[in-house]
Chain A
């Protein structure tokens, strides 16, 4: 990790989630929140805006996550936002997820798909990736309608694109 503060916050989140005993759920909720935050520029800008009082920003976070995530997840996100590190929140959560996977001797495979993958599909995909790359991975699914169909898998800097969007883009390139 390039930024030691991001690393420190990731360690803190990992430690709290582990201490609370619901690491897997918190990790998944934080991952989903990070994906939602990455796709919503207005929300990210508002949470990172120093002119908005911290209490107001925390209130927005709590309102968003109320009923959708655990109290631990909401408290962790609220803590980061109150600390003025909302802009780094996606990087912090990614680092936290990687750390969590690393604690299980696994890497994180971010999978983008138009629909969610079933448990069987996830396990088979993890096995397929292990077969293909030799890495033990944990699949994190991001629902992305722009993929249209198929799957895009990102493991670190490696990308395995099997989406319909890529096929359409290839078709578009062939027209030029």
Chain B
């Protein structure tokens, strides 16, 4: 800001130095050599009442004409130029001081303010971006935590399911084994019963045949006598 202000202040000074340095040679009146000579010559002719011949030979006139050929000061301008230049500079400086500089200053201030505002906005945006990033990081962390929790839950559920299935399978196997053992035992008992019945049938058939072959008339008679004695021995 201060650098811009220094540049604005140096501008009029540079303009003055340029005006002094670049002032070209000019006559006292600020006219050309021909004009100077014509002006001096006309004044001399008028003073001599129109006698041109006499005028041209007048030494005073010649000195004046020769003065028209003399070069002006290369540094100092003519007084009138200085006056006009000073007036112009003052007028321009006044105008610039009253109108240009406040406008430029206002524009610069506005721009500086806008830039500051932009910087503030950028800073705010940066802060917001950091907040968003922090929020994003937090959300990302939460999401990672949630994902980790879900994975853990899924893993736990899978382990539980695996354990349940394993336990159920073991229970089923144990039940099947128990039923198979019961079936085997039942079949074994049935086979034993069948075998026993068959053996009993065979044995009884053999016994019946033996009894039939041994029951002759004498034995039959003894059996009947024994029966009669048994009935007689029983009372009621």
Contact = CB atoms under 8 A, between A and B. Distances in A.
Nearest to B196: A175
A103 interface: no
Interface stretch (B82-90, B100-108, B113-121, B214-222): B214-222
A153 B231 CA distance: 10
Contacts of A175: 196-197, 199-200, 203-204
A150 B223 contact: yes
A111 to B, nearest CB: 9
Interface of B: 193, 196-197, 199-200, 203-204, 207-208, 211-212, 215, 217, 219-221, 223-232, 234-236
Interface string A77-114: 00000000000000000000000000000000000011
Given A127-B232, A149-B219, A168-B204, 14 more contacts: A118-B221, A121-B225, A121-B228, A125-B228, A128-B231, A128-B232, A132-B234, A148-B212, A150-B224, A151-B223, A164-B215, A171-B207, A175-B197, A176-B193
Contacts of B234: 132
A131 interface: yes
Interface of A: 113-115, 117-118, 121, 124-125, 127-129, 131-133, 148-151, 153, 160, 162, 164, 168, 171-172, 175-176
Contact of A171 (B199, B204, B217, B229): B204
Given A132-B235, A175-B197, A168 B211 contact: yes
A131 B232 contact: yes
Contacts of B204: 168, 171-172, 175
14 contacts: A113-B224, A114-B215, A121-B221, A124-B232, A128-B229, A128-B231, A129-B231, A133-B236, A151-B223, A162-B226, A164-B223, A172-B200, A175-B197, A175-B199
Contacts of B231: 125, 128-129, 131-132, 153, 160, 162
Contacts, number: 79
A123 to B, nearest CB: 10
A148 B228 CA distance: 17
Contacts of A148: 208, 211-212, 215
A149 B223 contact: yes
Contacts of A115: 217, 220-221, 224
B232 A117 contact: no
A149 B215 contact: yes
Contacts of A121: 221, 224-225, 228
Given A164-B211, A171-B207, A175-B197, A149 B232 contact: no
Contacts of A117: 224
A168 B203 CA distance: 10
Contacts of A113: 220, 224
Nearest to B215: A149
A131 B233 CA distance: 8
A127 B231 CA distance: 10
A151 B220 CA distance: 9
Contacts of B211: 148-149, 164, 168
B58 to A, nearest CB: 190
A172 B224 CA distance: 23
Contacts of B193: 176
Shortest 9 CB-CB contacts between residues of A and residues of B: A175-B200, A128-B232, A162-B227, A128-B231, A151-B227, A150-B223, A149-B215, A149-B223, A115-B220
Nearest to A173: B200
A103 B94 CA distance: 181
B215 A132 contact: no
A168 B204 CA distance: 7
Contacts of B227: 125, 150-151, 162
Contacts of B199: 175
